[in-house]
């Protein structure tokens, strides 16, 4: 993104360019991997309902605030709060923590997609059907570190050589391709049914009902709060808000771009991708493994999708390769935007050159990634989280950044906009071009 900056600081040449870049950052493992496993764990329909309400109310306001703050001030996230009010400088600094935490596990999930692409490409896709395949892979330190580092090295090379615009050009083909392929898998998978060894037949339509229809029975206040917090954490993560990144994007958006229209398009794209993934993965888990398997957590898509591909025969092997590669690409564009944010912050704070910031941050990130990978084997532990999940190191970092830091930063941003600079600041910027 940096390389697109013009002299006046407004970098995106067109509305489409901006939407693609922001959607490229937003659509990633959050949509395809995180959303379905949280929705499944939280019982489907109720999570979906709360998530949709939050996206269109809260998500819109947060995206609007971030983008308006950036566009009006033309400042990066780390500087913007202090620039508008000296006492709030700390909030800019706090936003830096989020990308730093997320980068210690995001490439690990990207590496899982690469590993699955490789297995299907080399004709070993049928091994991935076994329920233990994924856990066995994680418990081998070398294999999971290898794929993580392959994924991260690709990201690091792109940011080091500053060739993000090349990747953005690719994303114009790959992102619509990903959408088509997940829609295709969705239509196919809705026809699935399976009879288990107890002679019980489960259909994808019944699974879809669990995913879409809220179940209010046995709902306690505690459960409702847990689901709301999960949905909120997913919202921040998925839309890439409350981590400074959209403030920085805002600084590159030209005045003649209609911000509210763009926000609606970004939200539609991001939420659409998440909803379709959920509609593929949750019914598939229900069909092949039953309702009890829905709270599997992070491994959910890696256990369920190979089973769908397996039912497609040879075509399934090709579709699987295309699917996992495209998801890896979507993860790559998001990972680039996280790494870019870290590099941009280092350049500003320490006055380092781009190359120096890239090299030093890459060294630290590699170190962090190896430690988090070892959380599945050498440093294995099981920790009960307040949201009911049993966490290993990766889930713990994810929880701290998404369920704790992001809500805190969002809350502080709301206070800042609502009472310090006043909402008119954002409203006027949003009305700059054709209003809401
Ligand atoms: N929004 C991305 C996703 O859903 O996968 C994740 C992400 C991207 C988080 C960029 C943070 C970020 F700065």
User: Which ranges in 87-242 belong to alpha helices (H)?
Assistant: 89-102, 106-121, 133-139, 141-160, 164-189, 204-212, 221-239
Q: Is 31 in the pocket of ligand 1 (CB under 6 A)?
A: yes
Q: Is 202 helix (H, G, I), strand (E, B) or coil?
A: strand
Q: Is 26 in the pocket of ligand 1 (CB under 6 A)?
A: yes
pLDDT at residue number 433: 67
Tell me the CA–centroid distance for residue 249 and ligand 1, in Å. 13
* Atom 11 in ligand 1: residue holding the nearest Cα: 240
Tell me the CA–centroid distance for residue 62 and ligand 1, in Å. 15
Give the tokens for residue 402: 């998404």
Q: Is 125 in the pocket of ligand 1 (CB under 6 A)?
A: no
CA dist 237 and 406 (Å) reads 8
Burial readout 113-151 (b: 16 or more C-beta within 10 A, e: otherwise): bbbbbbbbeeeebeebeeeebbeebbeeeeebbebbbeb
CA dist 166 and 355 (Å) reads 18
Tell me the CA–centroid distance for residue 197 and ligand 1, in Å. 41
Query: Which atom of ligand 1 sits closest to the CA of residue 240?
Result: 1
* Atom 13 in ligand 1: residue holding the nearest Cα: 338
CA dist 415 and 337 (Å) reads 27
Q: Is 29 in the pocket of ligand 1 (CB under 6 A)?
A: yes
Pick the most confident of 67-71, 287-291, 367-371. Answer: 367-371
CA-CA-CA-CA torsion sign (255, 257, 260, 264):
negative
Q: Which residue in 363, 362, 361 sits closest to 346, CA to CA?
A: 361
Q: Are 300 and 37 in contact (CB under 8 A)?
A: yes
Q: Is 25 in the pocket of ligand 1 (CB under 6 A)?
A: yes
Question: Domain 2-431, what fold?
Answer: Amino acid/polyamine transporter I (1.20.1740)
Which residues, 6 or more positions from 196, have their beta carbon under 8 angstroms from its beta carbon?
Answer: 202, 290
Residue 167, φ and ψ in degrees, nearest 5: -65, -40
* Banded model confidence at residue 3, pLDDT cuts 50, 70, 90: very low
Q: List, for residues 100-129, the tens digit of each pLDDT value.
A: 999 999 999 999 999 999 999 999 999 999
* Banded model confidence at residue 13, pLDDT cuts 50, 70, 90: low
pLDDT at residue number 11: 65
Is residue 6 scored above 50 in pLDDT? no
Tell me the CA–centroid distance for residue 244 and ligand 1, in Å. 11
CA dist 160 and 230 (Å) reads 34
Give strand pairing partners of 390: 384
Tell me the CA–centroid distance for residue 52 and ligand 1, in Å. 18
Q: List, for residues 308-367, the tens digit of each pLDDT value.
A: 999 999 999 999 999 999 999 999 999 999 998 899 889 988 999 999 999 999 999 999
Least confident stretch, 116-120, 162-166, 249-253 = 162-166
CA dist 335 and 332 (Å) reads 5
Burial readout 13-40 (b: 16 or more C-beta within 10 A, e: otherwise): eebebbbbbbbbbbbbbbbbbbbbbbbb
- Max intra-chain CA distance, the chain: 69
Q: Are 96 and 363 in contact (CB under 8 A)?
A: no
User: Which one of 23, 27, 28 would you pick to mutate in the ligand 1 pocket, going by the greatest count of ligand atoms within 8 A of its CB?
Assistant: 28
Is residue 296 scored above 90 in pLDDT? no
Q: Is 30 in the pocket of ligand 1 (CB under 6 A)?
A: yes
Is residue 281 scored above 60 in pLDDT? yes
Tell me the domain boundaries of the chain.
2-431
The CA R_g of the chain, rounded to the nearest whole Å, is 21
Burial of 342 (C-beta count, 10 Å sphere; 0-12/13-18/19+): buried
Query: Which atom of ligand 1 sits closest to the CA of residue 239?
Result: 1
**For a pLDDT cut of 90, what percent of the chain falls above it?**
70
186-215 average pLDDT score: 92
Q: Is 271 in the pocket of ligand 1 (CB under 6 A)?
A: no
Q: Are 211 and 279 in contact (CB under 8 A)?
A: yes
* Banded model confidence at residue 24, pLDDT cuts 50, 70, 90: confident
Is residue 194 scored above 50 in pLDDT? yes
Helix H or strand E encompassing 273: helix 259-289
Give strand pairing partners of 201: 195
19-39 average pLDDT score: 91
* Banded model confidence at residue 9, pLDDT cuts 50, 70, 90: very low
Q: Is 341 in the pocket of ligand 1 (CB under 6 A)?
A: yes
C-alpha dist (Å) from residue 171 to 49, 270, 302: 30, 14, 24
Residue 202 or residue 431, greater confidence: 202
Give the tokens for residue 3: 């390389």
CA dist 430 and 268 (Å) reads 19
Is residue 241 scored above 70 in pLDDT? yes
Is residue 240 scored above 70 in pLDDT? yes
pLDDT at residue number 165: 77
pLDDT at residue number 407: 93
* Banded model confidence at residue 93, pLDDT cuts 50, 70, 90: very high
User: Which ranges in 375-405 belong to alpha helices (H)?
Assistant: 393-399
User: Which one of 334, 341, 398 would you pick to mutate in the ligand 1 pocket, going by the greatest count of ligand atoms within 8 A of its CB?
Assistant: 334
Tell me the CA–centroid distance for residue 338 and ligand 1, in Å. 7
Q: For the beta carbon of residue 175, count every other beta carbon within 10 angstroms.
A: 20
* Banded model confidence at residue 167, pLDDT cuts 50, 70, 90: confident
200-220 average pLDDT score: 92
Dihedral, 376, 377, 379, 384 alpha carbons, nearest 10: 40
pLDDT at residue number 218: 83
Q: List, for residues 64-90, the tens digit of each pLDDT value.
A: 999 999 999 998 888 999 999 999 999
Tell me the CA–centroid distance for residue 151 and ligand 1, in Å. 15
Tell me the CA–centroid distance for residue 282 and ligand 1, in Å. 22
User: Which one of 277, 338, 341 would you pick to mutate in the ligand 1 pocket, going by the greatest count of ligand atoms within 8 A of its CB?
Assistant: 338
Q: Is 390 helix (H, G, I), strand (E, B) or coil?
A: strand
CA dist 179 and 161 (Å) reads 29
CA dist 45 and 41 (Å) reads 11
Which residues, 6 or more positions from 318, have their beta carbon under 8 angstroms from its beta carbon?
Answer: none
Q: Is 384 helix (H, G, I), strand (E, B) or coil?
A: strand
Quote the mean pLDDT of the chain: 90
Q: List, for residues 201-210, the tens digit of each pLDDT value.
A: 999 999 999 9
Tell me the CA–centroid distance for residue 108 and ligand 1, in Å. 14
Is residue 163 scored above 90 in pLDDT? no
């Amino acid at each position: 993104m940096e390389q697109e900056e013009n002299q006046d600081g407004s970098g995106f040449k067109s509305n489409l360019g901006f939407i693609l870049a922001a959607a490229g950052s937003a659509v990633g493992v959050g949509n395809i991997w995180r959303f379905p496993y949280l929705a499944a764990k939280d019982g489907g329909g109720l999570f979906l309902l709360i998530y949709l309400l939050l996206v269109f109310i809260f998500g819109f306001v947060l995206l609007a605030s971030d983008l308006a703050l950036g566009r009006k001030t033309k400042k990066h996230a780390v500087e913007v709060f202090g620039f508008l009010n000296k006492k709030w400088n700390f909030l800019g600094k706090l936003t830096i923590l989020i990308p730093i935490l997320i980068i210690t596990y995001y490439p690990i999930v990207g590496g899982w997609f690469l590993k699955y692409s490789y297995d299907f490409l080399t004709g070993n896709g049928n091994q991935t059907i076994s329920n233990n395949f994924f856990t066995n892979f994680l418990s081998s330190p070398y294999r999971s570190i290898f794929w993580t580092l392959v994924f991260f090295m690709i990201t690091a090379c792109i940011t080091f050589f500053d060739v993000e615009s090349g990747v953005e050009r690719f994303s114009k083909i790959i992102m619509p391709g990903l959408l088509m392929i997940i829609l295709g898998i969705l239509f196919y998978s809705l026809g699935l049914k399976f009879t288990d060894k107890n002679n019980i037949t489960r259909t994808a339509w019944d699974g879809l009902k669990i995913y879409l229809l809220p179940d209010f029975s046995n709902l306690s206040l505690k459960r409702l709060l847990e689901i709301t917090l999960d949905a909120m954490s997913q919202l921040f993560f998925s839309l890439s808000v409350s981590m400074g990144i959209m403030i920085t994007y805002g600084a590159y958006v030209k005045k003649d771009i209609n911000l509210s229209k763009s926000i609606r398009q970004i939200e539609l794209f991001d939420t659409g991708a998440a909803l379709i993934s959920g509609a593929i993965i949750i019914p598939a888990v229900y069909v092949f493994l039953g309702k009890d398997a829905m709270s599997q957590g992070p491994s959910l898509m890696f256990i369920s999708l190979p089973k769908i591909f397996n039912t497609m025969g040879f075509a399934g092997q090709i579709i699987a390769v295309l699917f996992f590669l495209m998801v890896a690409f979507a993860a790559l564009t998001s990972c680039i935007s996280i790494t870019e944010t870290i590099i941009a912050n280092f350049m500003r704070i320490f006055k380092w050159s781009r190359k120096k910031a890239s090299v030093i941050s890459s060294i630290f990130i590699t170190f962090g990634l190896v430690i988090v990978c070892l959380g599945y084997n050498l440093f294995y532990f099981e920790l009960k989280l307040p949201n009911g999940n049993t966490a290993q190191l990766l889930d713990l970092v994810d929880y701290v950044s998404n369920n704790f830091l992001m809500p805190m930063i969002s809350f502080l941003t709301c206070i800042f906009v609502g009472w310090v600079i006043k909402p008119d600041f954002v409203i006027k910027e949003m009305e700059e071009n054709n209003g809401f």
